[in-house]
Structure 1
Amino acid sequence: MSRLCLVLVLISCVHSYESAQEVSSLAYYDNEVIPDVISVVPAEYLTVLYRSGAEVEEGNKVTPTQAKDIPDLAWLAPRDKFYTVILVDPDAPSRASPTSRFWLHWLVGNIPGAHVRSGETIAEYIGAGPSENSGLHRYVFLVYEQPGELRFDEPRLTDRSAVNRAQFSINDFTEKYNLGDPVAGNFYQAEYDDYVPILYEQIGL
């Protein structure tokens, strides 16, 4: 899908924000994102669109192949505000035994408005990688409004390593930087496909 098409779809999705928001609460509770990941439903609907054409729709299924590239995000964000985006898997290595909760897939801070690509990347994007026979995993995107531009002292993580990704603490991170509750969010579910071994080779698993 071309960049122009992605932008046009994102604009359309943002315009449908109000109707999307009405169904957010049920989706978060039905899929147990509350209480497993967060304690309150984000106030805004986060549009997440992958280059493959897959769109995240509050718990729908997206394959690892479809989610391998950095997605485009859109939410209602004033240009003079800074934001942090977090993507985590609360079901690593499996939902039945999430001993590596939360596995950090992406972390970007100091995002001006909703311009994610202009933000400060702390953990480079790694797509969904549920192991074989581990069932469905939830992948949760969260957007936090910062109190201002911040100085992050976390180690920078590349997309070529799984080091320091497991057992990321959302609570510790958000408390450390006074981020409060997420202002926008969305999530999808994925299970193993043929792309996962390629991803594991990339990150050294």
Structure 2
Amino acid sequence: MFSSTTLLVLLASYPALIFGQGHASSDQISTSATQYDNLFLSAPYPDGFGIPLKAQAVLNVTYPSGPITNGKSYSAEDVKTLPTITLIPGDTAAFKAPNAFTLILADANALGNPDKEGNYRHFLENGATFGDAGADGGMAMNVGSGTVVTSYAGPGPLLNTGEHRYAWMLFVQPSKFAAPSNLSAAGTGPGHWYVNAYVASSGLGDLVAASFFTVENGHATFPHNATVVHSTPTAGTANSSAQSGSASAAGSSNNAGKSAAKSDADGPVWKDCAATVKSLVMGLGVAVSGYILIQ
């Protein structure tokens, strides 16, 4: 017979029982996709990248200042140097080498203040692979496994241009992938492009993991309720060509307000709470069951 102290030890160990399974839960994965949509990153240009997140893993991005929390605001100083990249997949086999991936960091700009020249490329690596999963299920990206076309350029939005949205995006890179000639060699500098057009023209596969954050320099010089051209992000649709940004904005101010309210109601905070409660219940159940069995 074990004392009540044993039960307390078992209860305290429930996080390890949950995450020791070696893969991300479906709730963790779906939460990242919801957060991505709530930032309008799946919406067509000029609001987002026009690429849905078909999440299959949780992407962990860790800067020297600490790990990124999806949707959180950071200073340019916080994210000025290249971070380490790991992921916790739902299915380890899908991410194990020799499966290859393309990793991108791009700026979707500030909602209501689109860049007429498109998105901005801060990092691009083709042919990246991941190592074997560790004890916690995490898989680290193999350093030097791919071709770094554009070396890391830390976010540095122009003064008073609003809260820029930056996304680390991991794409499946199938055998048919062919990088465009102007973005195939190492040493290509950062610059404007359209992520959607690059993905379509090069033959990249699905966007399977992402991590995203915001950086603002100064204060926005446009209203905080600025027009959102495409006020409802569409997670299931990706535009396969670069957009001109000529869509009508008539009446979208009200739509933007409604969308913001919906984002607050259905946003990542509530999703995170739900996932946490579920994990607590699961862990408690496992711990209690273990205690009963050893009596």
TM band (smaller chain): 0.7 to 0.9
| Counterpart Cα distance in 2 of 1:131 and 1:17 | 37
1:1-205 equivalences under 5 Å are 17-18=24-25, 19-35=27-43, 36-43=48-55, 44-53=57-66, 55-75=67-87, 76=89, 77-91=95-109, 95-113=112-130, 114-148=141-175, 152=179, 153-155=181-183, 156=185, 158=187, 165-166=191-192, 168-192=193-217
The 1:97/1:174 distance shift into structure 2, 3 A limit, reads closer
**Does the 8 A contact of 2:32 with 2:58 survive in 1?**
yes
Rg (Cα) greater in structure: 2
RMSD: 2.6
Identity %: 23
Which ranges of 4 or more aligned residues in structure 1 deviate by more than 2 Å?
14-20, 148-159
Superposed displacement of residue 108, structure 1: 0.3
Q: Which amino acid in the other structure matches residue 177 of structure 1?
A: S
| Counterpart Cα distance in 1 of 2:118 and 2:215 | 16
**Does the 8 A contact of 1:110 with 1:150 survive in 2?**
no
Using CA pairs below 8 Å that are at least 6 residues apart, which structure has the higher relative contact order? 2
Superposed displacement of residue 137, structure 1: 0.4
TM-score normalized by the length of structure 2: 0.53
Alpha-carbon deviations, 1:22-55, whole Å to 9, x = none?
32233122211121113322312211110222x2
Alpha-carbon deviations, 1:111-136, whole Å to 9, x = none?
12332542101111101111111121
Greater helix fraction, Structure 1 or Structure 2: 2
| Counterpart Cα distance in 2 of 1:183 and 1:116 | 20
| Counterpart Cα distance in 1 of 2:105 and 2:169 | 6
Superposed displacement of residue 157, structure 1: 6.5
Structure 1: gaps (5+ residues)? 1-11, 194-205
1:8 counterpart residue number: none
Superposed displacement of residue 149, structure 1: 8.4
Superposed displacement of residue 97, structure 1: 3.1
The 1:106/1:191 distance shift into structure 2, 3 A limit, reads same
- 3-state SS of the aligned residue for 2:182? coil
**Does the 8 A contact of 2:177 with 2:203 survive in 1?**
no
Structure 2: gaps (5+ residues)? 1-18, 90-94, 131-140, 219-295
**Does the 8 A contact of 1:87 with 1:104 survive in 2?**
yes
Number of aligned residue pairs: give it.
Answer: 175
The 1:60/1:26 distance shift into structure 2, 3 A limit, reads same
- 3-state SS of the aligned residue for 1:88? strand
1:197 counterpart residue number: none
